[in-house]
Structure 1
Amino acid sequence: MREIPFDKMLAVMETVSDGRRPLTVTEISGATDLAVPTVHRLVALLVDRGLLKRHLATKKVMPGARLMKLGVSAVQTSLYADKPHALLKSLVTRIGEFAQISLVVAGELICVDAASAHRESGLHLQQGNKAPLHCTSIGKLYLASLPEAELRSWLRSANLQRLTDRTVTDPSELRKHLKEIRARGWGSCNEEMHPGVVGCGVRLPLRDSSGFIGLCISAPAVRMNFEAITGHIPALRKVAVDIADIFDRTN
């Protein structure tokens, strides 16, 4: 098989990853200045290796499972190594509970870094753990950031599973809640994913806004009620800015 220059493959993968929607070969060609036949060959090669995938029955392409796994792993390594993880641990020391950084990938929330005060009770998630969007502070913050058309499409197809008696499962009620989140700029979870666990979160203000990464804290309501945990929003925002600054300078 004839070798394809790596920079051309990288250009195609970057264009598809940044597209925020499935792209045609012609669109990829226009964005990369590569000839359409060249893009056809590269796309076929990348699809064959699981780095890209076809969008349903169309000829458009989107990131494949292998490319998404690579992206999540890269974020995990960047955040866990050295200063970002140290900042996360300093936040945990200050509040005495649990904190995590999560990335939205393919409609799910994935934990990419976490730290806790090592208490016996409470919420303890590990890297790679997944959670739904509609009942988590970062997930709802992400949904609140979507353009109206994307949110409407998501609500039509979403499985709003009831995980506790406080989980919002009515689309109209969730939309109202998301409007409040959009106005105040931070997300919250009041015993909606796990009974007795409350939390709140903010977005990392990264220069590259194409992806969505959030920072959140959580605690058992018996130790820190909902009003008390949301009082930590200013500290969360400060740590989010510091982590984003480090992340931007190293990527």
Structure 2
Amino acid sequence: MLASLLSALPLAPTPDTYNYDYNYESTMTSSEAMAVIMLMMGLYFLFFVIALVVNGIVWAGAFAKAGHPKWKAYIPFYNTWIMVKMVGRPESHFWFLLIPYFNIYMMIVILNDMSKSFGKETGFTVGLIFLPVVFAAILSYGDAQYRGPSYLSPAQKQYANQYGQQYNQQYAQAQAQPQYGQDPNAQQYGQQDPNAQYGQDPNAQQYGQAQAQPQYGQDPNQPYGQPQDPNQNPYGSGPTK
């Protein structure tokens, strides 16, 4: 019985009838493979050049508004260096852009500073992140004006607070002083000094003239205590170099 069972088992493997040809040769020659690789590299290089040109075009106007030549917007890495200076950040912050993953955060911060440097809000920063070609062109060729670096170091923020307090005090004193040359001792209700016209002090300066010594860098042609140009950032340094 055991002998009959052993005889029924397939002890010998079934022969494989498929003919394997190990001498198969590819239909693509080495020269053709090299041509395909060169074509792919050429297309990649062309795409890279087009991206650089488009990026330079959309940022060239913004660079010009900040006082930089337009050609700087076309040079890779150097244009980012200029953008760091445009927003007022230290030049050392440029090297943060070379750190993997952290450079994404740093670039978003710089774009946000760029929006504020042109008087835009945070919503405009979102546009610069997701549609940089469109929103950068708006900064370059729209009516947005460069107001100076928006980034302030801790020392600059401390100085800005002190300067703001002094400016507010000086402005309050200017409002308390008599204006347009009026004599504070002149009588009211139409009575006037016979030597003065319309209550003016004959020794005072005429209407619209500035004081002898403008304070806090005011333009002598502006009325005393008039705020600074709203198109420039407070404490901004103007065009960067």
TM-score range, shorter chain: under 0.3
Structure with more of its chain in strand, by fraction: 1
Q: TM-score, normalised by structure 1?
A: 0.21
The structure whose RCO (Cα within 8 Å, separation 6+) is larger is 2
The TM-score with structure 2 as length reference comes to 0.21
The structure with more helix, counted as a fraction of residues: 2
